[in-house]
Structure 1
Amino acid sequence: MSSTASQPATHARTGPEAAAWAERLRVANINPRTGLATDYLNHFNEAVMLLEMIPDMPECAEDFLTWTPLSYAEHFTASNFKARDLAIEAYEKAEPSVRAQFDNITQTLHSILTAVGTAMREVEKDETRVKLAEQATLWVQPLIAACGGVIHGGADADVDTIMAN
């Protein structure tokens, strides 16, 4: 293992090494400042898309129920993302405070979506599933936006405000 393997995404690197690392991340569509990739948001956007279909097509609840939470590394391992190994490495090297904030939001997203799935399995009426889907969408969309803010290095205050609501 190289001496830089345990260093944060960009913070402990200096000079040409930092510039080369940042360029590798940028080319791979990974934010060099945070070490995070927006591709992970596709995992949550898929769930939202399925939830949004339920009011018009209640039978789509079954499709939503096949969605399963995936960690950042699990998502990229299973994806066709060209730089998936680099995405996982950059995540692991991300600034601990950024990663903690990101992980907190994604854990909240997983908790909400899992709870909604459990509730949908327990009800029989389409109307109830529609209400669950509509409410879940209202909860999840701002959290996905907050997650995107963390990925792009947004202001902590903006993310804290969304998480508090």
Structure 2
Amino acid sequence: MSADDDFALWQKKVEGTNISSATLLATDYLNHFNEIVMLLEMVPDMPDMLEDCQEWAPKGYQQHFHDSAFSDRELAIEAYDHVPDKFRRPFEETIEHMNAVVLRANEQLAVVINEGNPEIIRMTANSTTAALQRFMDVASSIIHGSAKTMSQDEIDAAMAL
């Protein structure tokens, strides 16, 4: 079976589910990142929330669904192996950037919280959540079939917290 035939077969399998038939990806995966965004947004007012942020860990797409209550989780896990490279590569690269932003932000927030300047804490948390939102927007567009990603300049700007 050709890659195109395989993809067409999987597109039919995911019809009527919350998995995109354009890419075989599901936006539910982004909930993993929505969690950390919500936690990071609380840090300026409750610096002790950093502990919860530091407990957050990157989680692969299939692992996220394995651990979730998503109604089509088994299908999402299985379909991921059939996502065409033109979507999978930029999606995975975007996720890697998001993971790096979170990990670096946790380190930076620990430093600025220790220094005790509330304005710097707020600026650091806000710039982190803005960067994550930008990457989530890109990931969401990929999930829905866009091949558009961020330019290297946009990535560098988002990564420069």
TM-score w.r.t. length of structure 1:
0.80
Give the number of aligned pairs. Answer: 152
Alignment partner of 2:14 out of 25, 35, 47: 25
Alignment partner of 2:67 out of 60, 63, 78: 78
CA distance in 1, matches of 2:51, 2:124: 13
Residue in structure 2 matched with residue 12 of structure 1 by the alignment: 5
Superposition pairs of residues 11-160 of structure 1, within 5 angstroms: 11-13=4-6, 18=9, 21-123=10-112, 124=114, 125=116, 127=118, 128-156=120-148, 159-160=149-150
Preserved contact between residue 95 and residue 139 of structure 2 (Cα < 8 Å): yes
Distance 1:163 1:119, change over 3 A: closer
- Structure 2: gaps (5+ residues): none
CA distance in 2, matches of 1:126, 1:12: 58
Distance 1:26 1:52, change over 3 A: farther
Q: In structure 2, the residue corresponding to 1:138 is in which secondary structure?
A: helix
Deviation at 1:139, TM superposition (A): 1.1
Distance 1:132 1:154, change over 3 A: same
Q: In structure 2, the residue corresponding to 1:48 is in which secondary structure?
A: helix
| Percent identity for Structure 1 against Structure 2 | 34
Q: Cα deviations across residues 73-114 of structure 1 (Å, max 9, x unaligned)?
A: 111111111221211111111001210010000000001101
Deviation at 1:63, TM superposition (A): 2.0
Distance 1:90 1:137, change over 3 A: same
TM-score w.r.t. length of structure 2:
0.82
**RMSD across aligned C-alpha pairs, in angstroms?**
2.3
CA distance in 2, matches of 1:107, 1:77: 19
Preserved contact between residue 58 and residue 130 of structure 1 (Cα < 8 Å): no
